[in-house]
Chain A
Amino acid sequence: MLEVTGFSAGYQGNDVIRDVSFSVNEGEAVMIIGSNGAGKTTLFRSICGLSPTSSGSVRFNNLDITGMPAQRIVRLGLGFVPAERHLFPRMTVHEHLALGAYPQRPDPATMTIVFDLFPRLGERRRQHAGTMSGGEQQMLAVGRALMSQPRLLVLDEPTTGLAPKLAQEAYQALQVLRRQGLTLLVAEQQVPLAMAYTDRGYVLENGVVSLEGTSAELAADPRVRTAYLGVT
């Protein structure tokens, strides 16, 4: 469904990620793990059209979307929840969800799904995003992305700043979405959590893919165990 080949990107001529290739198949949940500064955020922002690409290609449903601006990529069915969330502080929950469906009218059925998934959002329809807690904002960011009825949802560090219990809940919510047929691509620092909920994974180190395999394989790999699972 998503095919990234020989992909490089960065800022002002310095490539932060170099020659990265990976793929996500329909119905899968794939994780990209790596330490802080490994380039996960740059990778995702460039794939989704928020940051420029230096070389390589991104294909989504066999369509070349390399360098396409984010607003067009979104309309093709690739939803992105960035780590910074990029919510609209002075707009209400309801307005976020309505905008999520832009330029279409918001689909009531999708909105029901979002409210079922995150009942907190339903209770706070009229609250401004700027006044909500970190966890609620994360729910809203995911909810907003879901409103465009994406086929692939890309999440960058969805658990940043969340308490362990909330992080667990976030992944349970993603699990629900998967069962409804959504394909997932997640970048995560909380590696154990991500491993439990994904099928396959790639390890990103200093801007290059250093390891790949199924989540179970990675969990058993001694290098991953020392570097990311805290096992010595």
Chain B
Amino acid sequence: MSDQAVSTEGTALIGGAERRSARSLGALFLPLLAAAALLAPVPLWLGDSRVLMGVALLGLAFACYTIGFNLIFGSTGQLFLCVGALAGIGGYGAVLLADRQGVPLLVSILLATVAAGLVGGLLSWIAVRRSLGVIFTGIITLIFALAFQNLLLGRGDLTGGESGLRIQSGSDSFLGDRILSYYAMLTLVLLFLLVHGLLRRSHFGWGFRALRDDEVAAELTGVNVARYRVIAALVGGAMLGLAGAVYAFSRGRISPSTFAFAQVDVVVLVMLAFGGIGTLLGPILGAIVFTIIDELLVELGQLRLVALGALILVLFLWVPRGIIPSLGSVFRKDH
């Protein structure tokens, strides 16, 4: 076994999956409409249950996070392990502005979104400037995430510490209604998908793809690798912040664990890898499937973590490229 030749090619875990997709507008809008049609009736079915609607809302929030992360990591290869922290900047930022400073709800959401986008862009700019590789980008963003988490816990006077904050603002707006907030979140999901889809179609998309395939070649053909990365992180960071802020107001209370690394980043990574990194619809598929699985696992009580871990192991040992690309290649083989 030890003499076996190690294949130098390696199977790419990322990219290449949807090379031909989204050329026509129809190819972009069709899956969008399908997702909308699938998710829109959910409140009709679950609407009476406060608990289940909460789960559905969380699922949509995760779909948003995963799309944002997919834009940053899937499209430009920057391993941002601070998804929760960026969403937390949006969430805590908007809540503190609205509750403590009396800033109007939508303005506070907007400001927090911009802040999260800027922080995302800044992190990316640092990583690009210092030409950090995947591991280093991952670790520096992880450090940022942990520092943010500690800040939340440490400034308990502002953030309510571990027990978190009960949010006053927004409860009388549409975000206070569980059905309306579901649709608000769903709108975000579709909006993010649209933005990501359009970005992929634009010359940015070609840049992204060239970047994925061969960074050096992309650079040689005049694609400004650094700029694409920073822009992707800016947009992605803003997505995360916006989703975090809207989710915070919809839920009515937040705590550090709402945005903790173990609760957000890990889940997002799993969802994305499950759905297919770099694919358009992978994030939403992963988010739906894992939200359902997670809900089913709640009944297992303490064994939930074991089951989740085992699932991750089995999943990535068998379909390491994610569901959508794997299905895609099965489909192609048939033809």
Apart from A49-B5, A69-B4, 8 more pairs, CB < 8 Å = A12-B9, A45-B8, A52-B7, A52-B8, A67-B5, A69-B3, A70-B5, A72-B3
Interface centre among B4, B5, B6, B8 (most CB of A within 10 A): B5
Chain B residues contacting A11 (CB-CB under 8 Å) are 9
Range for the number of chain B residues in contact with chain A: under 10
- Does A50 count as interface, using CB distance less than 8 angstroms? yes
In the assembled complex, 9 residue pairs joining A and B whose CB atoms fall closer than 8 Å, in A order, are: A11-B9, A12-B9, A50-B8, A51-B8, A52-B7, A52-B9, A69-B4, A69-B5, A70-B5
**A residues contacting the other copy or chain, number (CB 8 A):** 12
Interface string of B107-146 (1 = CB under 8 A from A): 0000000000000000000000000000000000000000
Interface residue? A117 (CB, 8 A):
no
Contact bitstring B1-40, A, C-beta under 8 A = 1, else 0: 0011111110000000000000000000000000000000
Binary interface encoding of chain A residues 43-55 relative to chain B, with 1 for a CB under 8 A from any of its CBs, else 0: 0010001111000
Minimum C-beta distance from B220 to chain A (A):
14
A66-80 interface code vs B (CB 8 A; 1 in, 0 out): 011110100000000
Measured between C-beta atoms, what is the minimum distance from B83 to chain A in Å?
32
Chain B 75-105, CB-CB to A under 8 Å as 1, else 0, gives 0000000000000000000000000000000
A111–B8 Cα gap in the complex (Å)? Answer: 31
Specify which chain B residues have a CB less than 8 angstroms from the CB of A70 in the assembled complex.
Answer: 5
Q: Which 8 A-B pairs have the closest CB atoms?
A: A69-B5, A51-B8, A69-B3, A12-B9, A72-B3, A52-B7, A50-B8, A11-B9
| Chain B contacts for A50, CB-based, 8 A | 8
B3 partner residues in chain A, CB cutoff 8 A: 69, 72
The answer to whether B9 touches A68 (Cβ under 8 A) is no
Within 8 A of B (CB), among A41-100: 45, 49-52, 67-70, 72
Bound together, the chains give a CA A75 to CA B7 distance in angstroms of 20
Chain B positions within 8 Å of A69 at CB level: 3-6
A40 to B220, CA, bound (A): 23
CB distance from B11 to the nearest CB of A (A): 10
A78-B6 Cα distance, complex, nearest whole Å: 19
Residue of A nearest to B4 (CB): A69
**Cα(A49)–Cα(B6), bound, Å:** 10
Complex Cα spacing A63 to B9, Å:
26
Complex CA gap A69/B6 in Å reads 7
The residues of A that contact B7 with a CB separation of less than 8 Å are: 52
> Min CB distance, B10 to chain A, in Å?
10
Q: How far is the CA of A49 from the CA of B8 in the complex (A)?
A: 10
Cβ < 8 Å to B, chain A residues 8-50: 11-12, 45, 49-50
Provide the bound-state CA to CA distance between A50 and B5, in Å.
8
Closest B residue to A67 by beta carbon equals: B5
- Chain B residue at minimum C-beta to C-beta distance from A70: B5
Chain B residue with the shortest CB-CB distance to A53: B5
Specify which chain B residues have a CB less than 8 angstroms from the CB of A72 in the assembled complex: 3
Q: How far is the CA of A49 from the CA of B4 in the complex (A)?
A: 11
Q: Which residue of A lies closest to B8 (CB)?
A: A51
B290–chain A nearest beta-carbon distance, Å: 31
Cα–Cα distance between A108 and B8 once the two chains are bound (Å): 34
How long is the Cα–Cα vector from A72 to B5 in the complex, in angstroms?
A: 10
**B8 shortest CB reach to chain A, Å:** 5
* Nearest-CB residue, chain B, relative to A69: B5
The docked-state distance in angstroms from the alpha carbon of A103 to that of B9 is 27
Q: Return the chain B residue nearest A45 by Cβ.
A: B8
